[in-house]
Amino acid sequence: MTPPRERVLDLCAFCPDLCLDVCPVSRATGNTAFSPWHKVSLLRALEKGLVPVDDAVVGALHECVGCLACSELCEHSQPVADLLFEARGRYPWPADLPAGPAAPDLAAVAARVVPAGVVEEEALAILVPGREVLESRPTSVTAAFRVLAALGADGVAFTHASLLDDGSVARARGDGAAALRAATALAQNASRYKRVVVLGAHAWYTLAVWLPAQGRACTAAVVPFVDELSARLDRWPSDVPPDPRRIAVHDACLLARGGHGAGEALRRVLTRVAGRAPLDLAHTGRNAWCCGRGAAYHHARPDHAAAIASLALAEARTAGAELLVCGCPASASVFEQAGFPAMDLAQYLASRLSSA
């Protein structure tokens, strides 16, 4: 049974800030006022009328990437991100924050990167990239279809449902109603198919975790892209040579902490394809640092987002990595933009196919 909202807020407010060190925002900025405990305590004080509704107070509610690290640590599994996201829609938008990223023309993006041969409405399985992928790393879609074909999964198609927004940006902005409408539309359209292979971490989390928690669900099997690959590793071409580079792995926080696992499938795929096990960062699996892009944080606070990305990149450099392979395409974009060689899983496998 879900505890009353006041009880949820009290549990955070009377905790001695145990989640301080796992929050990437407070860690990267060095500002303890951005710890999960402090943000929820501010929200509690706002709701009780104990602090003013001004940009400084409300702005703190926007200092969250939704990575679930605090909830993972908390023995009560406090829904900190949900609390903060919902609150953003109830208080005036801070004047120093941009209004939010404009919705991209996903159909126009897809027209540039989706191979013509995979566009098929009547299919058993479809690929859903998610808005984050089409927006930040659309070429991953091309790579994903190339890899799927090489592994014998050429029955996975791209349909009108593949283009639908998963609602994660609206949810992060505090528009829960719009997020629910978008996610429900995606789930209903995707339910026409037997299997939905999801490329982006936010889209997977929305369909597999968040939407069912709202009492709605996709009736098709929702499969992370990495699982689709892992199940077909016996078909990986034998003429692809081992990769001599020192490769490290960055886990997608919403996959690792959203119930998918600690990254075992990702490591299994990379070990088979690269010819040896990848390097782990100091924070890995369920403890992995966020890339800084979650919840459109890179748009709201680009300087803070860059500082968060540097946490994982510092560990990659310490490990001696020459390439960072990411479980989420959006993360690869962030690290690449920061100047570190990075690929998402689809692009890495496609590049290895080219080396044969």
pLDDT tens, position by position, 224-278: 999 999 999 999 999 999 999 999 999 999 999 988 877 899 999 999 999 999 9
At 3 the pLDDT is 62
The DSSP element (H or E) to which 347 belongs, if any, is helix 345-354
Q: Given pLDDT bands bounded at 50, 70 and 90, which one contains residue 1? A: very low
The mean pLDDT value for 59-64 works out to 95
**pLDDT at residue 7 is higher than 90:** no
**pLDDT at residue 2 is higher than 60:** no
At 11 the pLDDT is 87
Which tops the pLDDT comparison, 267 or 14?
267
Neighbours of 111 (CB within 10 A): 11
Q: Domain coordinates of the chain in residue numbers?
A: 5-88, 106-230, 239-354
The mean pLDDT value for 329-353 works out to 97
Instruction: Say if CB 250 and CB 326 are below 8 A apart.
Output: yes
CA distance 186 to 129: 12
The mean pLDDT value for 315-325 works out to 98
Neighbours of 339 (CB within 10 A): 8
The mean pLDDT value for 17-23 works out to 90
The mean pLDDT value for 147-171 works out to 94
The mean pLDDT value for 75-85 works out to 93
Q: Given pLDDT bands bounded at 50, 70 and 90, which one contains residue 103? A: confident
Q: Given pLDDT bands bounded at 50, 70 and 90, which one contains residue 102? A: confident
Neighbours of 49 (CB within 10 A): 8
pLDDT in tens, 165-197: 999 999 999 999 999 999 999 999 999 999 999
Same fold? 106-230, 239-354: yes
Architecture of the domain whose range is 106-230: 3-Layer(aba) Sandwich (3.40)
The mean pLDDT value for 41-59 works out to 94
**pLDDT at residue 336 is higher than 60:** yes
- Domain 239-354 grouped into CATH 3.40.50: yes
Q: What integer best gives the mean pLDDT of the chain? A: 94
The DSSP element (H or E) to which 255 belongs, if any, is helix 253-256
Q: Given pLDDT bands bounded at 50, 70 and 90, which one contains residue 323? A: very high
Rounded to the nearest angstrom, the gap between the alpha carbon of residue 231 and the centroid of all alpha carbons in its chain is 22
